[in-house]
Structure 1
């Protein structure tokens, strides 16, 4: 397991590369050019700038999250071909600077949905919260006003994406889940061969939350659908970013089973916990297994048993110790999360070594 940490850039993040470097076992950053609109080609010189910044602290930039997919591609419009060509060029440019994994998603309009960015928890910390009844009854424009009004630009809620919200909703009125599957297949058939040539793994992120929101279709929601994804284009370069928090918001999703089935097609893992309530609400918690509804211990054990050598990062953290930060992306709780994940990993590694030693001892005594 190679540990990485999401970073939004020198002028867009409260966390510095110097601080990230001090988190034990952290090898690289997960980054993006957040100021570029979906569909634009990522210039080689801009990618090189990020590499040079990371190089100063001995951190790699092998994982990008994310190269956003233009809505015309998801909608299957004739204009999608030009945006796909731009995407291919971006893949080529990223490969030149050593990128190995591109995390992306195929969620219409919104990348993720929450109703409260700073919901208080019992211990006095705050976290991202989803109130199901509110989303079911809310006008999406209310949510846009709330999240887009944050002090920082939130990925998936960029101003250029939201300014044409009405037109986007109109465009998706007659788009079904099967239409979205067809459009995803078309996209993958075009880009996966390019990714193969450049030894890059494309890793799709689950829908967050994993069910339809505001009447928009969503397809990356469960084990069955990920199985279908991997057959759309059967290639090692067509993979999954397995996010335990996104998928874990639905108690019917069994993350450990997904890891066991898709282990060789998971180049990137997001590991985080959520606490689910009976009414469908959920709130993000610490990474500790006991604090939420997701079996983080079992998840790390499954990765270890499957010999996972991909990239992993702690996902959304709480806001603790009065830290002022981007919602979900402070330093303190994510750093604590990394140490919890390494603690589990090290324990499973020690157990494996002890079992091997016992097996060797028994073999010698038999002889």
Structure 2
């Protein structure tokens, strides 16, 4: 029976988690990117090959690109967007020349994933990522002070946010501000209040419809290049899957996926199936997404979330959350048998365990937490594979 290709994310030479540590987890591949190259510039063959060799020297293989970032000019379809699209295509050519054929990206304006708490303490003492709408509203309206932000919230939500903020001391306010604007590991982006407000100003007049048109335009230019090269593009869903800071979001719902794939029907226009991002929106049917778009799933992020109420969700144990992981795993395994392919998978976002608490760890990417998630997913896959084989 075809198994998932087990991988783990690595953020490059400056990552506190070393390749030797990841290899000891028993994974088969590495998911990484050339974070040192500014967004929009071409990834040259020599740089790609150098990173490949670094990974091979540790007995591993670079199997998935995460991510080849899309320049903000492309998302806005302004400025130098045509040149950046040409650069993107050239990077795809260079990656394909080096044998790398799965490329993940996202189309979220300004910020990637957003959380309000990076060290939420679970009942057992582990720490997890959490998003709280009230805390975020307070950040948006009272800390960032985004122009016109009040209009995006009801009177009741503004009152809740104000009361929430009044209970914080200055250190807690600073921590909330830092949590929301924390970039990805490997990134050198320094998000200050002034920088974020400047970037938000650049998106004035860009609504969901406009952003979707720009995404489709980008794909109509890039997907033929990917097809010719045998490259599979895998768009990552919005995280969280709803608007933040008044910004448009167009990869949040089943309807979003349907519109995107209907507009650019090539199988090279695919999906990074992230159960955490899609599952944070209760109306998304994760099993139905596999049914409808299984042929476009080129990469898997398997994690779970717990929605404590309609204002908050948090990362949960990989097998214990609101997402039906057993049913998801069975459907994915059957999908791989039908397609005859092994889809690369990585465990996404683990808990920070107290054993690692004194070490420098990026929220969600501690080694022990991800290894625990990997072990749980690996065991679930083995058990369900046995069930499928036994039942014929």
TM-score, normalised via structure 1 length: 0.90
CA distance in 1, matches of 2:192, 2:343: 31
Residue 208 of structure 2 is aligned to residue 177 of structure 1: yes
RMSD of the TM alignment (CA)? 2.0
CA distance in 1, matches of 2:180, 2:257: 30
CA separation of 1:144 and 1:69: change in aligned 2, threshold 3 A: farther
> Which residue is equivalent to 1:69?
70
Whether contact under 8 Å (1:244, 1:270) holds in the other structure is yes
CA-to-partner distance for each residue in 1:122-146, whole Å, 9 max, x for gaps?
Answer: 1100011111111123237478950
Distance apart, 1:62 and its partner CA? 2.0
Whether contact under 8 Å (1:148, 1:157) holds in the other structure is no
Distance apart, 1:167 and its partner CA? 2.3
Identify which of 219, 230, 235 aligns with 1:204. Answer: 235
Whether contact under 8 Å (1:128, 1:328) holds in the other structure is yes
CA distance in 1, matches of 2:231, 2:74: 21
Residue 295 of structure 2 is aligned to residue 264 of structure 1: yes
Distance apart, 1:279 and its partner CA? 3.3
CA-to-partner distance for each residue in 1:238-282, whole Å, 9 max, x for gaps?
Answer: 000011001111111111111121111000010001111213201
For residues 222-301 of structure 1, the aligned pairs below 5 Å read: 222-288=253-319, 290=320, 292-301=321-330
Residue 50 of structure 2 is aligned to residue 38 of structure 1: no
Distance apart, 1:306 and its partner CA? 1.5
For residues 47-86 of structure 1, the aligned pairs below 5 Å read: 47-86=48-87
Tell me the matched-pair count. Answer: 351
Residue 197 of structure 2 is aligned to residue 166 of structure 1: yes
CA distance in 2, matches of 1:124, 1:157: 31
> Which residue is equivalent to 1:131?
132
CA distance in 2, matches of 1:74, 1:96: 27
Residue 355 of structure 2 is aligned to residue 322 of structure 1: yes
Whether contact under 8 Å (1:148, 1:154) holds in the other structure is no
- More moved, 279-288 vs 111-120: 279-288
> Which residue is equivalent to 2:388?
352
CA distance in 2, matches of 1:78, 1:144: 33
> Which residue is equivalent to 2:178?
146
> Which residue is equivalent to 2:345?
312
Distance apart, 1:155 and its partner CA? 6.2
Residue 248 of structure 2 is aligned to residue 217 of structure 1: yes
Whether contact under 8 Å (1:105, 1:204) holds in the other structure is yes
Whether contact under 8 Å (1:272, 1:316) holds in the other structure is yes
TM-score, normalised via structure 2 length: 0.85
> Which residue is equivalent to 1:364?
none
Q: SS at the partner of 1:229?
A: helix
Whether contact under 8 Å (1:147, 1:157) holds in the other structure is no
CA-to-partner distance for each residue in 1:329-361, whole Å, 9 max, x for gaps?
Answer: 0111111111111111111111122123xxxxx
Unaligned runs of 5+ in 1: 357-367
